[in-house]
């Protein structure tokens, strides 16, 4: 966070409330206490632009509505200068946390966890859903997670799931959707999952860990890292260098 302050990197500061359920009063009181501690610790950091009260809560439970209303309102009392948000994943028709939030963050993995292998569904599904989130709540929306696993050095043509090409082409389809949504005025950000591959418990859905990183676990870039750098520089409107030549130089071709 020191580096973020120095470099001007914006942070959505999130408490460690992942996959919450139950939503009883003892949990709520603990949650409010944790948010108070988080705000007290980081309120003077210029890099922090929002507080996030949770990630992927099971907010289709009815009790979530009152629970998040209290947690969000308490957080606003601790800091009246920043918006409060939460990264949701429940269906918009059954989700109860969003009504209390200032901005909506949604985690979505089109063409990975759903319609696996069908890259053509990403753009229409993303545009449709995020537009509906905005229309339903009249709040700004961003995507807080998207991506796909790739095994470093695994290549196929045409692209196939788990290859670096599939991860990259999935990103490109998402970019096209984001650009369309941004032009509509309510979509304000995109955050990929995630920075680097990391270890997970043994199981049947991970190949020696979570491989959604744009970097390997040893911090070597995958194809996705080069693509994302080009994307972000383009969004920042990198001046003076021809974009085509920039891309050639970045890929060393």
Q: What is the dihedral of CA 63, 66, 69, 73, to 10 degrees?
A: -130
> Is-catalytic flag, 56?
yes
Provide, rounded to the nearest whole percent, the portion of the chain with pLDDT above 70. 94
User: How far is Cα 12 from Cα 82, in angstroms, rounded to an integer?
Assistant: 10
Distances (CA, A) of 66 to 58, 63, 211: 14, 6, 36
User: How far is Cα 120 from Cα 115, in angstroms, rounded to an integer?
Assistant: 10
**Average pLDDT estimate for 61-87:** 97
**Banded pLDDT at 207 (limits 50, 70, 90):** confident
Global pTM reads 0.90
Indicate whether 243 pLDDT > 80.
no
Q: Mean pLDDT in the chain? A: 93
The half-sphere exposure of 128 on its side-chain side, counting CA atoms within 13 A, is 6
10 Å CB burial of residue 100 (0-12, 13-18, 19+) is: buried
**Average pLDDT estimate for 194-218:** 94
SS3 133: helix
**Average pLDDT estimate for 107-128:** 98
Indicate whether 238 pLDDT > 80.
no
Q: Which residue shows structure tokens 């948000």?
A: 85
The catalytically annotated residue of 14, 25, 37, 56 is 56
Indicate whether 98 pLDDT > 90.
yes
Do 45 and 5 touch, CB atoms closer than 8 A?
A: yes
Q: pLDDT by residue (tens digit) across 146-195?
A: 999 999 999 999 999 999 999 999 999 999 999 999 999 999 999 999 99
Q: Taking each helix axis from N to C terminus, what angle separates 223-235 and 164-183, rounded to the nearest 10 degrees?
A: 20
CA angle 119, 125, 130 (to 5 degrees): 135
- Cis, peptide link before residue 194, omega less than 30° from 0: yes
Q: Which residues contact 172 (CB under 8 A, 6 or more apart)?
A: 227
User: How far is Cα 78 from Cα 150, in angstroms, rounded to an integer?
Assistant: 41
Provide, rounded to the nearest whole percent, the portion of the chain with pLDDT above 90. 89
């Amino acid at each position: 966070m020191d580096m973020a302050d120095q470099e001007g990197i914006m942070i959505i500061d999130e408490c460690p409330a992942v996959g919450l359920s139950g939503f009883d009063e003892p949990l709520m009181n603990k949650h409010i206490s944790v948010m108070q501690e988080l705000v007290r610790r980081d309120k003077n950091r210029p890099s922090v632009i929002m507080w996030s009260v949770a990630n992927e809560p099971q907010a289709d439970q009815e009790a979530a509505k009152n629970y998040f209303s209290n947690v969000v309102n308490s957080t606003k009392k601790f800091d009246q200068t920043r918006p409060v948000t939460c990264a949701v994943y429940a269906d918009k028709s059954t989700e109860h946390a969003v009504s209390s939030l200032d901005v909506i963050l949604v985690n979505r993995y089109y063409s990975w966890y759903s319609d696996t292998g069908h890259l053509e569904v990403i753009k229409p599904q993303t545009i449709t859903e995020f537009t509906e989130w905005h229309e339903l709540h009249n709040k700004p929306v961003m995507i807080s997670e998207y991506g796909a696993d790739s095994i470093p050095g695994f290549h196929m043509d045409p692209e196939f799931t788990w290859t670096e090409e599939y991860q990259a082409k999935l990103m490109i389809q998402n970019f096209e959707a984001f650009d369309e949504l941004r032009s509509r005025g309510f979509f304000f950000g995109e955050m990929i999952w995630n920075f680097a591959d990391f270890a997970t418990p043994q199981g049947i859905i991970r190949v020696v860990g979570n491989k959604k990183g744009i970097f390997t676990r040893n911090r070597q870039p995958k194809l996705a890292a080069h693509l994302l750098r080009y994307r972000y520089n383009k969004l920042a409107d990198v001046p003076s260098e021809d974009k085509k030549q920039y891309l050639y130089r970045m890929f060393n071709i």
